[in-house]
Amino acid sequence: MKNISFPSGLISRDHYQAAFEPFINQSLIKVFTGQRRVGKSYFLFLIMRQIQSKYPDANVIYINKEDFVFDGIRNAADLIRFVYENTVKKVKNYLFIDEIQDIDEFEKALRSLLLHDEYDLYITGSNANLLSGDLATYLSGRYIEFRIYSLS
């Protein structure tokens, strides 16, 4: 896990964690959708922390498209290049992408990465395309979606 600092005050969301946990290391893209500001990003941090605890040798690759640091990842080719540059051989690589809809043709890159057992993929999205049935078209049944709602 490279230089990922977890925000303070992460609130456990046991219901969601119990629902997605059986899918860790499964050859499916784990998609977390929901409106803005409901906690999708924080939920990714919870998952990363859980994976770090369970699999200390794991390599976590984190991309937050709201962070200017990742502005150079604009399309599928940029995404693939970034992931390959940050892949560690002979260990499981866990890829987390926050706000994936900001990457043009992201579905091409995700389908390609899913072909390789060394990747476990987690993404969030909040725009209308990801919240609608278009997700099924983009990822052709290679995903499981978890809808995240705000804390009540």
- Report the pLDDT value the prediction gives residue 108, as an integer from 0 to 100: 93
Q: Answer yes or no: are the C-beta atoms of 10 and 46 closer than 8 Å.
A: yes
Give backbone dihedrals phi and psi of 31, rounded to 5 degrees, phi first: -115, 125
Q: What is the pLDDT of residue 134?
A: 65
Report the alpha-carbon distance of residue 27 to residue 142 in Å, rounded. 8
**β-pairing verdict for 59-64 and 93-98:** parallel
Write down the pTM of the prediction: 0.84
Determine the pLDDT at residue 82.
98
Q: What is the strand order of the sheet 119-125 is part of?
A: 59-64, 93-98, 119-125, 29-33, 143-147
CATH H-level, domain 25-147: superfamily: P-loop containing nucleotide triphosphate hydrolases (3.40.50.300)
Looking at residue 9, what is its pLDDT? 59
The rounded distance, in Å, linking the Cα atoms of 97 and 125 is: 9
Q: Quote the pLDDT of residue 1.
A: 45
Locate the domains of the chain by residue range.
Answer: 25-147
pLDDT of residue 131: 52
pLDDT digits 0-9 by tens, 108-119: 999 999 999 999
Radius of gyration of the chain (CA): 14
Q: Alpha-carbon distance 27 to 90, whole Å?
A: 17
- Give pLDDT, residue 109: 95
pLDDT at 19: 73
* Residue ranges for the chain with pLDDT beneath 50: 1, 152
